[in-house]
Amino acid sequence: MNVELGAYIVSADELLGLIEVCRKCRMCADTCPTYEGWLSQSPMGRVTSIYYHFKYGVGSREELSALLYSCASCGKCRERCRAVNAGANPSDIIIKARQLLVAMVQKEKE
């Protein structure tokens, strides 16, 4: 099935630009329903992982994907986010990263 995602897929650079406003304060961690004590399973951890994966090639696509799809997309992180005033939206970034990964895999298959 050909899924036309082009209209609302952000590029890796655009994604990095969205992430740059994150204050790395970790205040979103406690509010995340998937956080059980390890930071990667928190909004800040996921956003940081996305950043370092796309900027520096850290971690495998499969590891990142597993992390991103464990996000509940509930948006509670945004209520606590200190950078929300600068346009930060952790759950939105995570969704955009998922879309980008899917688009990248599809493109490689073509």
Partner 1 sequence: MMKNEELISDLQKIVGNENLSDRIFDRISYSQDGMRQDFKIENTPIAVVKPISGQQVSRIVKYANTRRLPIYVQGAATTFKGSPRPKRPGSIILNTQNLTSLEIHEDDLYLEAGAGLNQYFLERKLSERGYFLPMNIGSKNSSTIGGAVAVNTIGHMVDICLGKIIDYVMGVEVVTPTGEILETGTRSIRRPAGIDYTRFFVGFEGLFGIITKVRLRLLPDFKKGFVVGFFPELANLGRAFMRLYREKLPPPLYGEFLDKDACDPLFKLKGIGEPKGHMALVVTVGHSQEEADRRAEDIVEVFNKESAVEARIVISPDEQEVYQQTRDAVSNILQMPIDGERMVYAGGLEAAVPLSHLAEVIPYLKGGHDYRTLLEAKGFTLGHVGTSDIHGMWLCPKTWEREKRLQCAREAVRLEADINLRWGCASGEVGQTGVRLPFLRKRYGEGAYSMLVSVKRALDPNDILNPGNIEGEL
Residues sharing a CB contact under 8 Å with residue 86, sequence separation 6 or more, in sequence order:
21
Q: Is 10 helix (H, G, I), strand (E, B) or coil?
A: coil
Q: Closest Cα partner for 50 from 69, 75, 25? A: 69
By CB under 8 A, tell whether 86 contacts partner 1.
Answer: yes
Taking CB under 8 A as the binding criterion, the range among 1-9, 24-32, 92-100, 101-109 that sits at the site for partner 1 is 24-32
Binding site for partner 1 (CB under 8 A): 20-21, 23-27, 29-30, 37-40, 42, 44-45, 48-49, 52, 55-56, 58-59, 63-64, 67, 80, 82-83, 85-87
